[in-house]
Structure 1
Amino acid sequence: MKLTHFPNTFLILALSLLWIFPGCSKKPESYDLVIYGGTAGGIVSAISAAREGMSVAILEPSEHVGGMVTGGLGRTDIGVWQTIGGMSAEFYQRVKKHYDDPAAWKFQTRDDYLEKNNLVDRLAGSEWWYHEPSVAAKIFNEMLAEENLEVLTGYRLQSVDKAGARIVSLSCENGTTFSGKIFIDATYEGDLMAMAGVSYHVGREPAAQYGEKFAGVLPWEYTTRKQWDVDVNPYDEQGKLLYGIQDVERGEVGAGDRKVQAYNYRICLTDHPDNRVPITKPDNYDPSRYDLLARYVKVRGGLPVNKTRDSWGFLNYGMLPNRKTDINDGGPFSTDFIGMNWDYPEGDQATREAILQEHLDFTKGLLYFIGHDPRVPEATRNEMLQWGYPKDEFTDNGHWTPQLYVREARRMVGSYVITSHDIETNRTKEDSIGMGSYGADSHLCQRIAWEGVVRNEGNPNDFTPGHNPWEIPYRSITPKKEECENLLVTFCVSASHMGFASVRMEPVFMIVGESAGLAAKIALDGGFAIQDVPYKLLHPKLVERKQKLKLEDVKGH
């Protein structure tokens, strides 16, 4: 769905004229704060700053606003729920208020949903963590409207103008320029950060760089999560690797590389007949893309549609209200398009669009394959055919999410680098702006042939500590001062691969986003470089906003 609020008709008319007559005016739009990225974190940063009286522009390069929160990730990655405070908690409280209204339940009752999915206790608090994509969009629209904020979609970054270590303005491909006093990069890719000349890293650091046990290339004994539970031949009859297997060496254990954890789409389906659009054969469908999966099913003797506690599945269903799903990766061959995203983080727009299309073709084709390919057992095919796309979701995009789940791209190398040590042992910080708690979660980074069988590598989640609160330092969202003095980075924060594996969750993105908005206001009023914002001024604002800042704020942890 398109989530955009435009309160100022005259501004839009002016911008429209610039599109039609790009040479008629070069005067930039000027704001206290310019946010690049209309993600959940970007929206919350904007609202946070607007509530402090700042003028704010939010620029979104795509036509979709809300990022993953409105893009299908409705089964929220919570971790320890008591760590979620501030506007992040406010958002999920508004979700609860929505579902407390009986009118919200169009295709099942509230009690039916809670009882069938064993969620009575999990959703018993003041927040509601599971939501439909359209509900998240509705709530963000309401929050934006309350602050008279606008989100401009289709504003893709083209260049950044700097004076010394300060960004003066940014220009977009449509010919518009926005000047600002403070800037925030709230994208999943870190494009503004990179274009501003801020240091960053892509891929996995060597284990020795920060002394992290699970950094770099993993030994096989540490990659048991979503590993093949039977031996499958990776080669076709001509001795060529099957589709989806990378023709690369694993790499030396502990070595760093440029490989990135897998992306996927979080898929919203429904089994309600009155709200179901059939899954038809997609454009560019090629059944040979799933030869490896078919071979796995044959060797294994079948595979359930949905992952269970005892078995991998084709898919991993998380049930949302109104008989909808948030489908995630369910096994060694599922919705994660392993190894097919390595060129995405630093790719130009053409490269990224090609990768997006490959992910789309693969994922829609996978759903069709499960329901129609004769190599899938008939009972499994029939079960899959009970599902379809929801008529009332993503109505402007063919009932399919426009948001690819970019779990990780660039990561800033800034004033402080979060590592696994900050998550596990060094959990307190003198400049905490919120807390993370989700156990380090890295999806697989590569799928290769190894000694005549298929192996996946890159997911140590069976061995990393579980959910545990830890304090996020303000320094982790600030670049090095000599590189940029007026930029905050709220998703591609300064973290190692294993540190980022915890901080990347959407509720934390919103926590960090709100704190960044407050820091921007203090920097503006005091004339401070972002790195010099006094914590003694920031801390009272964080407390006022009900952010959870210290371990002692979370009982039992």
Structure 2
Amino acid sequence: MPSPSFVTEPARTLPVYGEFDVVVIGGGPAGLAASVSAASHGARTLLVERYGFLGGMGTAGGVTNFAGLYGRKNGEMRQVVHGVVDDLLARLDALGGLNQPQDGMAGRIRVRSYDVSAYKCAADQMLVASGVQLLFHAWAAAVLMDGQAITALVVETKSGRQAIRARRFIDCSGDADVAHFAGVPFELGDGHGSALFPSTMFRVGHVDAGPALAAVGEFKAINDLMAQSEARQPGRYQFPRKGAILRPQKNPAEWRANVTQIRNAAGTAMDATDARQLSEGELEGRRQITEYFRFLKNEVPGFADSAIIDIAPQVGIRETRRICGAYMLTGEDILSSARFADVIGINAWPMEMHVDGAISWGFPRDENRAYNDLPWRMLVTREVDNLLVAGRCASMAHEGQSAARASGGCFVMGQAAGTAAARLEEGAAFAATDVARLQQVLLDDGVYFDR
């Protein structure tokens, strides 16, 4: 590859899009919860989203289910993530887009699938009802700083490059873009040149539901069919990984497929912060989909007359930058069902490590409390006074992030961040937040702590 060349961009004066109390960057679960919570507590709030719709990986990445809302307590599976997400679930249900809970892993996990289009509409309704202002098709490009505070966010839009002023910012970008621009230290992936491998999601329609449900109604069944096919016909299919997740949607004639695994030229996980790798990964994901779909039609009961009805708008990213904040959630915190004095809510998803060629799971050791607290400190940076980071790019070690990156934990982080941003005293730093007061407000707003 030729050596990089450079050009100099002339300085220019930017128009100010607006001035706000709170600006949230990214409209996934964390960003939805953050913006709704901030606006609900009286802050003039703007949500900046690079697509023309909300939902993050749940829509743009084609995930199609909420993971981590449910956890086992004293042997019983129950919903342990509450608050803003309850409003979203109710709106989804009213639109006819919410499925009943689906259990897997011998009853150790429970997910809630939804219709992607309904999710987009329900999210719109929720934010508009809360008074959140929305700026779609805008990409965070830089920040302007005054000492240890961000004074403005620079965004690229179809109206050109603009600046947005605010008193407080919440980075829910997934890639810690804003924190990175502001100089907050971070870790990228697993620290050894790889990360949780990404996947391009797709949906299959026109499935004969009866035979399909009988053949692959359990999570493990599709893996068995893949292994049997490999044993009978070595080399006929190139499976990108050993484990697959193939599940019916609300309409059992439509199924979601989570089967791909995107590598770069070096054989490690594609780095979604690298523009070249991201572009190559989009091509590779669709190549793997066509290969895997050939297996579905030829080998899996109920799929002979099926068709691919949707490929996600982008490759699904599990891990890129993770900030190094006031506390980093660890894998041991997940396995030990950790409790924290500065708890802001619950993570109920186990460690889900998408490693080279496979998925490795790590469940909490205490089956009577198979979930852990999430601490306030994982949202707080040491370097920037008026910035919080929530979602998959919050302060977590590689193993801890494999669990808390799920949508349940992201809703929790976002609600705490938005609530704190709206209620923080003028001129105060987030590091000085009265955590006990914040916790009481979160409890009053329906968040569950398991105290």
Q: Please give the TM-score of this superposition, normalised by the length of structure 1.
A: 0.64
Partner of 1:380: 299
| Percentage identity across paired residues of the two chains | 19
CA gap 1:540/1:341 in 2 versus in 1, 3 angstroms: same
1:87-98 paired onto structure 2 within 5 Å: 87-98=84-95
Partner of 1:441: 352
Partner of 1:35: 24
Q: Is the contact made by 1:61 and 1:153 (CA closer than 8 Å) also made in structure 2?
A: yes
1:512-527 paired onto structure 2 within 5 Å: 512-523=413-424, 525-527=425-427
Letter of the 2:283 counterpart: Q
Partner of 2:41: 52
Instruction: Give, in whole Å, the separation in 2 of the partners of 1:45 and 1:114.
Output: 26
Instruction: Give, in whole Å, the separation in 1 of the partners of 2:36 and 2:161.
Output: 26
Partner of 2:124: 141
Q: CA RMSD in A?
A: 3.2
CA gap 1:152/1:364 in 2 versus in 1, 3 angstroms: farther
Letter of the 2:273 counterpart: E
Structure 1 gap segments, 5+ residues each: 1-22, 106-112, 205-255, 274-294, 304-311, 330-334, 373-378, 391-398, 447-455, 553-557
Q: Is the contact made by 1:48 and 1:518 (CA closer than 8 Å) also made in structure 2?
A: yes
Partner of 1:485: 385
CA gap 1:535/1:24 in 2 versus in 1, 3 angstroms: closer
1:85 deviates by 0.9
1:338 deviates by 4.5
Q: Is the contact made by 1:67 and 1:403 (CA closer than 8 Å) also made in structure 2?
A: no
Q: Which has the larger radius of gyration?
A: 1
The number of aligned residues is 397
Q: 2:163 aligns with which of 165, 168, 177?
A: 177
Q: Is the contact made by 1:38 and 1:151 (CA closer than 8 Å) also made in structure 2?
A: no
Partner of 2:257: 327
Determine helix, strand or coil for the equivalent of 2:195.
coil
CA gap 1:135/1:26 in 2 versus in 1, 3 angstroms: closer
CA gap 1:351/1:299 in 2 versus in 1, 3 angstroms: closer
CA gap 1:355/1:336 in 2 versus in 1, 3 angstroms: closer
Q: 1:66 aligns with which of 30, 51, 55?
A: 55
1:327 deviates by 1.6
CA gap 1:371/1:537 in 2 versus in 1, 3 angstroms: closer
Letter of the 2:20 counterpart: Y
Residue 402 of structure 1 pairs with residue 391 of structure 2: no
Partner of 2:410: 509
1:540-551 paired onto structure 2 within 5 Å: 540-550=440-450
Letter of the 1:144 counterpart: L
Q: Is the contact made by 1:95 and 1:128 (CA closer than 8 Å) also made in structure 2?
A: no
Q: Is the contact made by 2:347 and 2:372 (CA closer than 8 Å) also made in structure 1?
A: yes
1:203-218 paired onto structure 2 within 5 Å: 203-204=189-190
CA gap 1:34/1:367 in 2 versus in 1, 3 angstroms: same
Residue 352 of structure 1 pairs with residue 278 of structure 2: yes
Partner of 1:529: 429
Partner of 1:500: 401
1:280-359 paired onto structure 2 within 5 Å: 300-302=231-233, 315-322=244-251, 323-329=253-259, 335-338=260-263, 342=269, 344-347=271-274, 349-359=275-285
Instruction: Give, in whole Å, the separation in 2 of the partners of 1:169 and 1:118.
Output: 45
Determine helix, strand or coil for the equivalent of 1:180.
strand
Determine helix, strand or coil for the equivalent of 1:438.
coil
1:426 deviates by 6.5
CA gap 1:478/1:338 in 2 versus in 1, 3 angstroms: same
Q: Please give the TM-score of this superposition, normalised by the length of structure 2.
A: 0.79
CA gap 1:153/1:351 in 2 versus in 1, 3 angstroms: farther
Partner of 1:468: 370
Partner of 1:262: 197
Instruction: Give, in whole Å, the separation in 2 of the partners of 1:158 and 1:431.
Output: 33
Q: Is the contact made by 1:415 and 1:476 (CA closer than 8 Å) also made in structure 2?
A: yes
CA gap 1:76/1:404 in 2 versus in 1, 3 angstroms: same
Instruction: Give, in whole Å, the separation in 2 of the partners of 1:114 and 1:154.
Output: 33
Q: Is the contact made by 2:342 and 2:376 (CA closer than 8 Å) also made in structure 1?
A: yes
Instruction: Give, in whole Å, the separation in 1 of the partners of 2:24 and 2:350.
Output: 29
Q: Deviations over 1:24-62 (max 9, x none)?
A: 962342111111112222122111111111111111223
Q: Is the contact made by 2:26 and 2:47 (CA closer than 8 Å) also made in structure 1?
A: yes
CA gap 1:380/1:403 in 2 versus in 1, 3 angstroms: same
Instruction: Give, in whole Å, the separation in 1 of the partners of 2:281 and 2:164.
Output: 29
Instruction: Give, in whole Å, the separation in 2 of the partners of 1:463 and 1:544.
Output: 30
Q: Deviations over 1:284-333 (max 9, x none)?
A: xxxxxxxxxxx987751159xxxxxxxx988531111123222223xxxx
Q: 1:158 aligns with which of 141, 161, 167?
A: 141
Q: Is the contact made by 2:326 and 2:377 (CA closer than 8 Å) also made in structure 1?
A: yes
Letter of the 1:58 counterpart: L
Q: Is the contact made by 1:60 and 1:154 (CA closer than 8 Å) also made in structure 2?
A: yes
1:366 deviates by 2.4
Partner of 2:182: 196
CA gap 1:46/1:343 in 2 versus in 1, 3 angstroms: same
Q: Is the contact made by 2:364 and 2:370 (CA closer than 8 Å) also made in structure 1?
A: no
Q: Is the contact made by 1:269 and 1:325 (CA closer than 8 Å) also made in structure 2?
A: yes
Instruction: Give, in whole Å, the separation in 2 of the partners of 1:344 and 1:118.
Output: 32
Determine helix, strand or coil for the equivalent of 1:318.
strand
Q: Deviations over 1:205-241 (max 9, x none)?
A: xxxxxxxxxxxxxxxxxxxxxxxxxxxxxxxxxxxxx
Partner of 1:271: 206
Q: Is the contact made by 1:263 and 1:341 (CA closer than 8 Å) also made in structure 2?
A: no
Determine helix, strand or coil for the equivalent of 2:142.
strand
Structure 2 gap segments, 5+ residues each: 1-11, 72-77, 209-225, 235-240
1:101-120 paired onto structure 2 within 5 Å: none
Determine helix, strand or coil for the equivalent of 1:176.
strand
